[in-house]
Amino acid sequence: MDLHALTNDPEGIVEADRAHVWHHLLQHKPHDHGVDPRIIVEGKGLKVWDIKGKEHIDSVSGGVWTVNVGYGRERIARAVGDQLTKMCFFGGTAGTIPGATFSQMLIDKMPGLDRVYFANSGSEANEKGFKMVRQISHKHHGGKKSKILYRERDYHGTTITCLSAGGQEERNAQYGPYTPGFVSVPHCLEYRSQDGSNGEAYTAASLKAIEDVILREGADTIGSLCLEPITAGGGIITPPVGYWDGVQALCKKYNILLHIDEVVCGLGRTGTWFGYQQFGVQPDIVTMAKGVASGYAAISCCVTTNAVFEQFKDDTDKLGYFRDISTFGGCTAGPAAAIENMHIIQEEGLLENSTTMGEHLKANLHALMEKHRWIGDVRGKGLFAGAELVMDRDSKEPVDEKTVAAIVGDCMKQGVIIGATNRSLPGFNNTLLFAPALIATKDDLDHITDAVDQAITRVLG
């Protein structure tokens, strides 16, 4: 096959993709019956173009909340190219200039944290955090303090162990048996209050529910509590007021490490560098990926306090160090891209833009809520928002998943890409999701919500 000719043959590319590419999160059967795979060929700012030349505005930053600074950033591409030419890779047993430089930049934004472990994906970063907790348990607690708590509706990655810590049943289905020692605590979605309480009463009930699990399992068996600062794929769940203060207090009371998964919220998505900084808490472990380099190169980080790191400095035990490696954690493209990504966020005031434009996005969604009785709740922070669709506001009966998919599909036909909870939460895949690049303008957001308005009208009336 003439590969050069193929790159200039759109139909040939589509057929090559149909024949050989196994896509993520996609049922391929329709491709056997004439439905073409979607192929994205170019991006600039918030816009992408597919292989047929159709333009779309992307309200989910690459489909999976990643391209925080937008498409087409030549300075990031140049930085990566220059670095790869000079020094492309060396295993993580040694350091590199971009690795050291970015780790210092990152730690400067995360007071109270000190050490950066490089890997490639959010799943891998979370695996590192889980392994650290397990090894600390063996080294310092006789192997007993090994359980890891996670929350319903949260998601921490796609490996078997990360799914073991995953609170989305449909994501987990058919992949068991799972890694033992992971225990769930209830979700904190006030709109779906488990006992009908709200406000301060709901916060108190949510925290009591966590403490009940700790007491049931035994605090001396629990090594960490792993939570998203704002639940992402589980429906954009902002915690109730006071929730995070209470979580921090529980972790201190019972000597449990607090592991915050910033894979989605990190690097400006909520209007602060990290989502946990919205709530004034001090974690022991923070994991991140996606927006760290805005998708320009693969990189993830597991960041810890020195107190965690010091527990692995023991030369009297030949197995006492953190015996872990991520091969491509030694690739210099990731930190090189991350350095420029962070510079762009600072120089262009994208944290501030995320806050300001996030308020505009939520205002638009609230206006849609006034217009459409199908929207039961709007929630989020910064350029990270969700609109939960219901058949009836009083009963809060969820709109079915096919209807949500029809709304997403209608927006796609209009040239607007939006997200939705999808095959994750049985009976509750009913939330539209928005996470546009942090460069979004009012015009961009108006364009996105206008498309949603039209789609809801056509699909639901």
Written in H, E and C, the secondary structure of 342-398 is HHHHHHCCHHHHHHHHHHHHHHHHHHHHHHCCCEEEEEECCCCEEEEEEEECCCCEE
Dist. CA 158–CA 272, nearest whole Å: 26
Dist. CA 456–CA 389, nearest whole Å: 10
Can you tell me the mean pLDDT for 448-459?
98
Look at residue 121 and tell me whether its pLDDT is greater than 80: yes
Look at residue 6 and tell me whether its pLDDT is greater than 70: no
Asked if 38-69+349-460 and 74-347 have one fold, the answer is no
The residue count for the chain: 461
Q: Among all chains, which residue has been given the structure tokens 């993520």?
A: 24
Contact (CB, 8 A) for 165 and 185: no
Residues near 170 by beta carbon (within 8 Å), at least 6 away in sequence: 423, 424, 425, 426, 429
Helix, strand, or coil (residue 287) = strand
Q: Range with the lowest mean pLDDT among 10-19, 173-182, 348-357? A: 10-19
Looking at 3.90.660.10, 3.30.930.10, 3.90.1150.10, 3.10.20.580, the CATH number of the domain 38-69+349-460 comes to: 3.90.1150.10
Q: Among all chains, which residue has been given the structure tokens 């889980």?
A: 130
Can you tell me the mean pLDDT for 293-309?
98
* pLDDT computed for residue 151 by the predictor: 98
Can you tell me the mean pLDDT for 429-434?
98
* pLDDT computed for residue 3 by the predictor: 52
Contact (CB, 8 A) for 419 and 380: no
E-assigned strands of 217-331? 222-227, 257-261, 285-288, 300-304
pLDDT tens for residues 194-210? 999 999 999 999 999 99
Look at residue 270 and tell me whether its pLDDT is greater than 70: yes
* pLDDT computed for residue 390 by the predictor: 98
Look at residue 441 and tell me whether its pLDDT is greater than 80: yes
What is the residue extent of each domain of the chain?
Answer: 38-69+349-460, 74-347
Residue 310: count other Cβ atoms within 10 Å of its Cβ. Answer: 12
Residues near 153 by beta carbon (within 8 Å), at least 6 away in sequence: 167, 168, 187, 189, 231, 234, 235, 237, 425
Q: Burial-class residue 453 by CB neighbours within 10 Å (0-12, 13-18, 19+).
A: middle
11, 14, 111 from 52: Cα distances, Å: 9, 10, 47
Can you tell me the mean pLDDT for 297-301?
98
Closest CA to 302 of 91, 116, 170, 72: 116
Contact (CB, 8 A) for 431 and 388: yes
The rounded percent of the chain whose pLDDT value lies above 90 is 97
- Give residue 296's identity as a one-letter amino acid code: Y
Average pLDDT over the chain, rounded to an integer = 96
* pLDDT computed for residue 1 by the predictor: 47
Contact (CB, 8 A) for 242 and 276: no
Nearest-Å Rg of the Cα atoms of the chain is 22
Contact (CB, 8 A) for 269 and 384: yes
Q: If pLDDT is split at 50, 70 and 90, which confidence band does 8 have?
A: confident
Q: If pLDDT is split at 50, 70 and 90, which confidence band does 341 have?
A: very high
Can you tell me the mean pLDDT for 182-187?
98
Dist. CA 418–CA 59, nearest whole Å: 5
Closest CA to 124 of 329, 424, 342, 335: 329
Q: Among all chains, which residue has been given the structure tokens 């005031």?
A: 349
The encoded tokens of residue 215 equal 């007491």
Q: If pLDDT is split at 50, 70 and 90, which confidence band does 2 have?
A: low
Look at residue 450 and tell me whether its pLDDT is greater than 80: yes
Look at residue 115 and tell me whether its pLDDT is greater than 60: yes
Closest CA to 419 of 14, 150, 126, 56: 56
Sheet holding 300-304, edge to edge: 115-119, 300-304, 285-288, 257-261, 222-227, 147-151, 182-185
The CATH architecture annotation of domain 74-347 reads: 3-Layer(aba) Sandwich (3.40)
pLDDT tens for residues 225-254? 999 999 999 999 999 999 999 999 999 999
Closest CA to 223 of 267, 259, 188: 259
The secondary element (H helix, E strand) that includes residue 250 is helix 243-253
